[in-house]
Amino acid sequence: MCQLQDIPKSLCPLVCKWTYSADGGWDESFWKKINLEDFVADNYCKIGTQVLSPGDPLGKGLTPEAAKELGLPAGIAVAASLIDAHAGGLGVIGADVKGYNLPCENQPITSRLAVICGTSSCHMGISPDPIFVPGIWGPYFSAMVPGLWLNEGGQSVTGKLIEHVVQGHAAYPELQAKASARFQSIYTYLNSHLDSIKKSLPVGFLTVDLHVWPDFHGNRSPLADLTLKGMVTGLRLSHNLDDLALLYLATVQAIALGTRHILETMEEAGHSISTLFLCGGLSKNPLFVQMHADITGLPVVLSQEVESVLVGAAILGACASGDFTSVREAMARMGKVGKVVFPKPEEKRFYDKKYKVFLKLVEHQKEYAAIMNEDI
């Protein structure tokens, strides 16, 4: 007897990770093609066919055993879940933006791109019809917002990359000591240090001759090339705190340039995006946020609640409990704008040039690889 047959599963991970179709179920030919036809046997009893949409209530709620372990009332509503990044997107992308002078205010929700940025970054774009975007995952129907198709771009280990660059620098011990003396995080100190050395220039202009390609761990989107490596051009024969601050700035800019690359690829395929909605750990860094606004040329909305994954989970719970009749209604009521960061138009030309260099870096890397792969 198959015990998995009656266990309900969330539509989100099945659609995004298991090739399940929200309107057609499992694809029998797929499982047979990859030699897992035993999954098809007995009406898919090994993987189950009971699928719930995120926010649907599960059974009779929290069991007495689970309630005791969690210190919650038995029977409290339990909702079908979302993948963590998708919950973050749900928690931030539907916020009511009236009165913030944003281009998306009088546009459909599909004009918004959610960027969930932490250890890695995920770029969630939605559309009423399926859009196939080269190098971008999806389209997935109802995988995040019910009734809409989802495309998911991503950058691997973005937060880890910044940490790697900073902590691997010779001046890191000095940075730690100075930040500790001020009772600041190392990133708050680095941001203030950049302000102290910029003189009359905008901070971003300090990297006019320092450029980074950020794919130290391969490219997830939009090139989908795991063989790519990181690149830095413009290093000097010094390793003081100024050098560390500049390399940190160039790395943050490179991540934002990668977001622009993903954004432009999505728009070329048919998305129309006018506003970014950022959440996650990296969105707590003002420099990271400002660089995303300046480099993409789009305003950035930050959620009132930084941990938007928790807001997304709460939205699902509120639907399961019956407090809201739909996920869309709960998104609009529970997602709150905390801050809006606008791009600085006077800096557009500089970042347009940085972006050209950014694309040249990967072009050159591929040329180097081709040369080295030539027959000797």
User: What does the pLDDT look like over 109-143, one tens digit per residue?
Assistant: 999 999 999 899 999 999 999 999 999 999 999 99
> Cα separation of 2 and 286, whole Å?
52
Cα 245 to Cα 197, 235, 256, 291, distances in angstroms: 10, 13, 17, 15
pLDDT of residue 131: 98
- 242 pLDDT band (50/70/90 cuts)? very high
Q: Is pLDDT of 6 > 90? A: no
pLDDT of residue 23: 80
Provide, rounded to the nearest whole percent, the portion of the chain with pLDDT above 70: 98
Q: Residues 340-368: pLDDT tens digits?
A: 999 999 999 999 999 999 999 999 999 99
In this prediction, residue 51 carries a pLDDT of: 92
Token reading at 314: 């709460």
**Candidates 3.30.420.40, 3.20.20.30, 4.10.780.10, 3.40.50.460; correct CATH number of 83-376?**
3.30.420.40
CA–CA separation, 199 and 43 (whole Å): 69
Instruction: Sketch the domain layout of the chain as residue ranges.
Output: 1-52, 83-376
Longest Cα–Cα distance of the chain, Å, equals 74
Which three-class secondary structure state does DSSP give residue 235? coil
Question: One-letter amino acid identity for 62?
Answer: L
Single-letter amino acid code for the residue at 137: W
